Amino acid sequence: MNSLYYQKRLSRNIGDKFFTSLSVICALIAILPLIFLVTYILYKGGSQITPELFTLEPNPPGDDLDAGGINPALVGTLIITTIASIIAIPVGVGGGIYLAEYSRGGAFSRFIKFGVNVLAGVPSIIAGVFIYALIVSTKILFGSMYSGLAGGMALSILMLPSVIKTTDEGLKLVPNELRYASLGVGASMYTTILKVTLPSAFRSIATGVVLGIARAAGETAPLIFTALFSYYYITGFGDLFYEMGSLAVLIYNFALEPYDAQNKLAWAASFILVLSILSVNIFSRILAAFTEKTKRV
Amino acid sequence: MEEKLTLFKNRKRFGIEKNIDIIFKNTALVLSSFVAIILLGIILVVFFQSFESFSRYGLKFLVTSEWNPVKDEYGAFTAIYGTLVTSFLSLLITIPLGVGTAIFITEDFVPKVFREIIGSFVELLAAIPSVVLGLWAIFVMEPFFRAFFVFLHNFFGWIPLFSTEPSGRNSLLAILILVVMLLPIVTSIARDSLNQVPKKLRNAAYGIGASRWKTIFSVILPAALSGIMAGVLLALGRAMGETMAVTMIIGNSNAFSWSLLSPGYTISSMLANQFGEADGSQVSSLFYAAFVLMILSLLVNIFAQWLVKKFSLKY
């Protein structure tokens, strides 16, 4: 008769309570430092933000009074990520189109998919080492060694797998009926892809690509010996062939300086980097949730 | 509508359009093969650059820890050991925490809204650049743990792992910052694979009288195991290749020590530190170390893919 009621002291119930509290503790240990981390970065970095930060050059370390601004690094990050996107997006979208629209699951496409996964797992510093060997040390780019261009190429290697994957997955979600309809009215394969399937998968591909760009903007390891760092304003097109600063490398260099002024600059740069990456992420998440809702209706 | 109809009027397929079609297809084919070209290129370039060092030191490079550019003596044992120790120990801490958190947000302990907020918050954290985590580790984590490390050394100094006086930057700090980096990866992948377990399995277990945790341990976790394992291996690959945060906090010393409280080295931090200023046979030795790192992460990656294929969802 008793067995119909919940018995506190039954071993299974005690065990259940124990494991439940264990998982709560795990979640707390995991999440509390993470919350602390984000708020600290935003608080500490946010308090360093001044208008001059965006317009001045950083002063070389040693002058503890005034560290200057991060303008060259900010512009450099924009330029390097743009170069990386210009290389990685066409190649990645093209490759994704082949995988999703043309391949029939043969050995070649399986090999490429395998390669995409492997390339995604290659440590980011290896991409830097590769570009160093291929471009920096050979001075193949018109005799320039360390350059923003080389940095952009290194980043594009890291972006490529994610662009291919999102394109492939985005195109696979497009219903086959659309393709049949387009081919049925006599459109050729490339018109079908360019006018029907790509546009209808545009939003999911764009979201994935933007997230990939945001991730690349924070990458440091491939840049430290390809783009190196520069203290000076970027003034013209020719600067692409010289050392170029970036927010990520600025944080790395200035965090290791013993001077307080440089450390503050590193915090300010982290604030800008983290805030922009997080807002891109949150925005695309909201957008994705919104699309899902409208689709269901 | 009118416009669209006229589009199709008198429409013939010209030879030129067929050619464009073929060109389009082949362009896509070439672009997709870029991935393979780059991958092979990376492997070949790193291998050939390391050839000089490889032929001079051979496999001895892997087991000696002399790194002396003046005498031209190179061995990467400290860095290889550091890479393996930091990544495995950080994973050892991350797995229970991450899987525990994943269970917490897939079970119904708290309302769904909270669980979704926690889940997406954890995923957002994966987007924070590692260099920022390194900055945080230097200025916040290191002072925070200083007293704890002294305590560890005083009370557990007889264990070789804690046998040295804690230095400002050390391997244990690198392990802890790796835990912060890996947690989001392991948690979100474990959560996804737990969510993919069909509801009927859970209902069946409840139906024959299993308690909640009996169900989790004997039904849900085994069913999600392949996904979780793949996530763990992915995190392992990440940990081995992770550069910035580790370089900033590990102390970068090539002197070998069993103790986690003394400065250490990993392959990637060695590359980050020395590559810019190296020349001569040091460059070749660094490429050799990079080659070792690449082989390690390739093996982990391929094993993860094989695992997913072999054990994916067999219920």
What integer best gives the mean pLDDT of chain B? 88
Please tell me the predicted confidence (pLDDT) of residue A296.
42
Residue A274 is nearest to which of B28, B41, B128, comparing CB atoms?
Answer: B128
Confidence tier at B53 by pLDDT (50, 70, 90): confident
DSSP reduced 3-state for A223:
coil
B176 Ramachandran zone, left/alpha/beta (phi>0; psi -120 to 50): alpha
Cross-chain residue pair B287–A160, CB shorter than 8 Å: no
Q: Tell me: the pLDDT tens digits for B213-223?
A: 999 999 999 88
Please tell me the predicted confidence (pLDDT) of residue A69.
85
Token pair of B161 as six digits: 């792992």
Mutate: best of A37, A196, A250, partner B, most B CBs <10 A: A37
Please tell me the predicted confidence (pLDDT) of residue B299.
92
- Please say if the pLDDT value at position B10 is more than 60: no
Cross-chain residue pair B132–A115, CB shorter than 8 Å: no
The answer to whether B52 faces chain A, any CB pair under 8 Å, is no
* B129/chain A closest Cα distance in angstroms: 5
Nearest to B236 by CA among B89, B128, B63: B89
Chain B residues 60-89 with CB within 8 Å of chain A: none
DSSP assignment string, B7-52: HHTT----HHHHHHHHHHHHHHHHHHHHHHHHHHHHHHHHHHHTHH
Residues 6+ apart with CB under 8 A from B134: A251, A252, A255, B177, B244, B245, B246, B247, B248, B249
Confidence tier at B1 by pLDDT (50, 70, 90): very low
Please tell me the predicted confidence (pLDDT) of residue A297.
35
Print pLDDT tens along chain A (297 aa): 567 777 777 888 888 889 999 999 988 888 888 888 889 999 998 888 888 888 888 887 776 567 788 899 999 999 999 999 999 999 999 999 999 999 887 889 889 999 999 999 899 999 999 999 898 888 877 777 888 899 999 999 999 999 999 999 999 999 999 999 999 998 889 999 999 999 999 988 998 899 899 989 989 999 998 888 888 888 878 788 888 889 999 999 999 888 888 888 999 999 999 999 999 988 888 887 777 655 543
A73-246 — its CATH code?
1.10.3720.10
Please tell me the predicted confidence (pLDDT) of residue A82.
95
Q: What percent of chain B has pLDDT over 70?
A: 94
- Please say if the pLDDT value at position B315 is more than 60: no
| A-chain residues near B20 (CB < 8 A) | 188, 190
Please tell me the predicted confidence (pLDDT) of residue B174.
95
Token pair of B160 as six digits: 């070789």
Please tell me the predicted confidence (pLDDT) of residue B124.
85
8 A C-beta contact, residue A251 and residue B131? yes
What whole-number distance in Å separates Cα of residue A88 and Cα of residue B240?
A: 25
What whole-number distance in Å separates Cα of residue B56 and Cα of residue B60?
A: 9
Residue B8: how many other CB atoms lie within 10 Å: 10
Confidence tier at B308 by pLDDT (50, 70, 90): confident
Nearest to A262 by CA among A231, A237, A221: A231
State pTM to two decimals: 0.90
Instruction: Return the sign of the alpha-carbon dihedral for residues B241, B245, B248, B249.
Output: negative
| B-chain residues near A190 (CB < 8 A) | 20-21, 24-25
Please tell me the predicted confidence (pLDDT) of residue B240.
92
| B-chain residues near A123 (CB < 8 A) | 237, 240-243, 268, 293-294, 297
Cα angle at A77 between A49 and A56, to 5 degrees? 45
- Please say if the pLDDT value at position B8 is more than 70: no
Largest pairwise CA distance in chain B = 89
| A-chain residues near B30 (CB < 8 A) | 94
Q: Tell me: the pLDDT tens digits for B243-288?
A: 999 999 998 888 888 888 989 999 999 999 888 777 778 888 999 9
Cross-chain residue pair A188–B18, CB shorter than 8 Å: yes
